[in-house]
Amino acid sequence: MSSVVIVGTQWGDEGKGKIVDLLTRSADYVVRFQGGNNAGHTLVVNKQQYIFHIIPSGILYEDKKCMIGNGVIIDPAILLQEIGGLAEKGLPVTPERLMISENAHLIMEYHRRLDQAQEASLTKDKKIGTTGRGIGPCYVDKVGRVGIKVGDLLDEQILRDKLTAALEEKNFLLKEKFGEQPVFFDSVLANLLDYAEKLAPFVGNVSVELDLARTRGENILFEGAQGTQLDIDHGTYPFVTSSNTVAGSACNGAGFGPTHIDSVIGILKAYTTRVGEGPFPTELHDETGEQLQRKGGEFGATTGRKRRCGWLDGVVASDAVRLNGLTGLAITKLDVLSGQSRIKMATSYKLDELSLSAMPANVKEAGRVEPVYEEMSGWPSEINEITNYEDLPVEAKDYIKRIEDFTGVEAVIVSVGPDRDETLLLKDPFEV
Ligand code: GDP
Ligand code: IMO
Ligand code: MG
């Protein structure tokens, strides 16, 4: 029995979905614990692509259970769309396969509208570049103790009371602050009651279910969303998301005790990408950056935005090792570096006369640091079809070794293509 947490080590889109899908074969439960449908997790199985925003990436295995923990925020329309989409593909999602925590909060229409209106009202240097999915405003309401929870869907009077109170404030903001149309009580309530009927069979106590699974000796896989540098506390604030994305969040976001976590695998893209605004020390504004963007197919899985690209950042990787207590690395998209004659990795930052080994907390400084690079030889040949670690070009193995030495964490998975099969599993994290 073991419990494994998967987290992103950079700014998201490291390939978490692919690795979660791969590891699900050894798991009994797959659990999302934070974030919402700002996430876009891509799986490719037998050349068929699936993108999940809210449903855990273990859902393609019919004998596994998927859980959406209390730390997740749920847009019910999107969740129902994903359930419907899977059913159309012949994969019915039944309450035996999916449980939603009664304590997860709901993303409401007014959260989306406020997220978009707020972003639109900001000057260019202040924009966060959010996904516009209502993430920030929903977490604000949760922390402000006025959010609407999944469990509230089962009690119409609570829904009516909370909605009445919320609309008084939200419509004031929409109309008076942003000059937007208000949201109407009757239509929001009607939608909620419709969602309630459809989602009620899925609602349960995820914490209790996971504890029972653990005591039965089953394997539990926790699926993080976003990445360490997007963490609300530890990321490049304010250019972050509104939840804790680090591994500790798996415990509070699912109701699972920290002493029961056995390993934490950090997903590390072999280079770096970022969507939206904010500091990105190793960003490339040249042809190499364009090449990584094109070869890596770096477009956002949620918003379709072009991802900014740059070299691997060892400072970011070290931050992730420390903040998540990583026990293993899954190095993804190594194939995208094929064809680069030289490969660079930042090993520290220079800030004026200072040398830094961690991302500065001050966002202006984070925007000003100069990466100090180490250069390595690249490899010319494509590596997608390699199934044996030993068969990788020697330069690729040297690159992996350098990452392991620099971070002090071993690589347990190397991914050489988007498909489930294009993966070198060096050590199964469930077999520790
Ligand atoms: P996530 O948000 O961390 O799950 O990552 P995304 O799904 O948003 O972005 C990762 C993208 O890279 C997806 O299009 C994946 O299909 C793709 N991908 C994952 N691993 C690899 C890999 O090793 N090589 C290549 N070429 N693509 C990969
Ligand atoms: P996955 O799980 C990459 C970014 C947004 C924006 C910032 C805040 O697919 O890795 P938000 O809508 O959360 O308020 O936006 O965070 N962001 C992501 N970037 N991958 C993600 O998720 C992201 N989720 C949010 O682009 O910069
Ligand atoms: Mg993504």
* CB-neighbour burial class of residue 179 (10 A; exposed 0-12, middle 13-18, buried 19+): exposed
Q: Which two tokens stand for residue 247?
A: 């591994």
For residues 245-265, average pLDDT: 98
Residue that is written with structure tokens 């596994």 in the block? 64
Under the banding of pLDDT at 50, 70 and 90, the label for residue 301 is confident
Separation of alpha carbons 209 and 198, rounded Å: 21
Peptide linkage before 429 cis (omega within 30 of 0): no
Closest C-alpha residue for ligand 2 atom 23: 226
| 173 CA to centre of own chain | 30
Closest C-alpha residue for ligand 1 atom 21: 418
By C-alpha distance, which of 229, 252, 238, 408 is closest to 323? 229
Instruction: Judge whether 375 and 343 are in contact, CB under 8 Å.
Output: yes
Q: Which atom of ligand 2 is nearest to the CA of 224?
A: 2
Q: According to DSSP H, which parts of 173-295 are helical?
A: 185-199, 206-215, 249-252, 287-295
Stated pTM of the model: 0.98
Question: Which letter does DSSP use for residue 326 in this model?
Answer: -
Distance 53 CA to ligand 3 centre (A): 8
Tell me: pLDDT of 112 over 90. yes
Residue that is written with structure tokens 């959406």 in the block? 68
Q: Is 38 in the pocket of ligand 2 (CB under 6 A)?
A: yes
221-253 pLDDT tens trace: 999 999 999 999 999 999 999 999 999 999 999
Q: What is the pLDDT of residue 302?
A: 86
Q: Which of 21, 28, 41, 115 is catalytic?
A: 41
Closest C-alpha residue for ligand 2 atom 20: 12
Q: Which-ligand-closest: CA of 236?
A: 2
With a Cβ cut-off of 6 Å, ligand 1 is lined by 8, 12-18, 40-42, 44, 297, 301, 332-333, 335-336, 415-418
By C-alpha distance, which of 416, 419, 380, 382 is closest to 400? 416
Separation of alpha carbons 352 and 313, rounded Å: 19
Q: What is the pLDDT of residue 246?
A: 98
Q: Is 13 annotated as catalytic? A: yes
Instruction: Judge whether 127 and 112 are in contact, CB under 8 Å.
Output: no
Can you list the domains of the chain with their CATH numbers? 3-97+205-431 (3.90.170.10), 105-202 (1.10.300.10)
Q: Is 286 annotated as catalytic? A: no
Separation of alpha carbons 367 and 126, rounded Å: 13
Distance 41 CA to ligand 3 centre (A): 5
Separation of alpha carbons 415 and 287, rounded Å: 24
SS3 335: helix
Q: Which atom of ligand 1 is nearest to the CA of 300?
A: 8
For residues 301, 307, 312 and 316, what is the CA-based torsion angle, rounded to 10 degrees? -80
Separation of alpha carbons 348 and 344, rounded Å: 12
Q: Is 276 in the pocket of ligand 2 (CB under 6 A)?
A: yes
Q: Which residues surround ligand 3, an ion (CB under 5 A)?
A: 13, 40, 301
354-398 pLDDT tens trace: 999 999 999 999 999 999 999 999 999 999 999 999 999 999 999
Closest C-alpha residue for ligand 2 atom 25: 38
Mutate to test the pocket of ligand 1, among 24, 34, 333 (most ligand atoms within 8 A of CB): 333
Closest C-alpha residue for ligand 1 atom 1: 13
Tell me: pLDDT of 1 over 80. no
SS3 244: coil
Instruction: Judge whether 251 and 220 are in contact, CB under 8 Å.
Output: no
Q: Which atom of ligand 1 is nearest to the CA of 18?
A: 19
Q: Which-ligand-closest: CA of 269?
A: 1
Q: Which atom of ligand 2 is nearest to the CA of 136?
A: 14
30-85 pLDDT tens trace: 999 999 999 999 999 999 999 999 999 999 999 999 999 999 999 999 999 999 99
Q: What is the pLDDT of residue 18?
A: 98
Separation of alpha carbons 330 and 403, rounded Å: 11
The DSSP element (H or E) to which 31 belongs, if any, is strand 29-32
